Amino acid sequence: QVQLVESGGGLVKPGESLRLSCAASGFTFSDHYMSWIRQAPGKGLEWVSYIDGSGTATFYADSVKGRFTISRDNAKNSLSLQMDSLRADDTGIYYCAKDRQPSSYLGLHVWGQGTTVTVSS
């Protein structure tokens, strides 16, 4: 079945970097945009970034633009989020989600279980 498994979260200090990964299975990975969404402790959902199926088009929330980089490896069915210059307000659970296809919008129809990022000195 369709599955997304995030990894790479952890505790880092402000200014440090972290790389999150999302392993996808059960669907044709390259056919779908993929998104990252995060949730600060006790707060709502915030869309962070998404990438098209080929990896050539990327989009970011203003809050992470210039610090985070989304990428994908279609040969390995893997999505990544490189997070640099981390700040305390980047703390939260990071989810990857299966997103639209180029010709059909499907919502964020599959989510992973999330990986926790804590930025603290």
Contacts with another protein by CB under 8 A lie at: 35, 37, 44-47, 50, 59-62, 95, 100, 105-109, 111-114
Q: Pick the closer one to another protein by CB: 1 or 121.
A: 1
CB of 121 to another protein, least distance (A): 29
Q: Which helix (H) or strand (E) holds 47?
A: strand 45-51
Q: Which is nearer to another protein, 13 or 70 (CB)?
A: 70
What residue type is assigned to position 75 of the chain?
A
User: Which residues, in sequence order, are bridge partners of residue 12?
Assistant: 119
Structure tokens at 42: 């006790």
Phi then psi for residue 35, to 5 deg, are -125, 155
Nearest distance from C-beta of residue 104 to another protein, angstroms: 9
117: three-class secondary structure by DSSP? strand
If the CB atoms of residues 45 and 88 are measured against another protein, the closer one turns out to be: 45
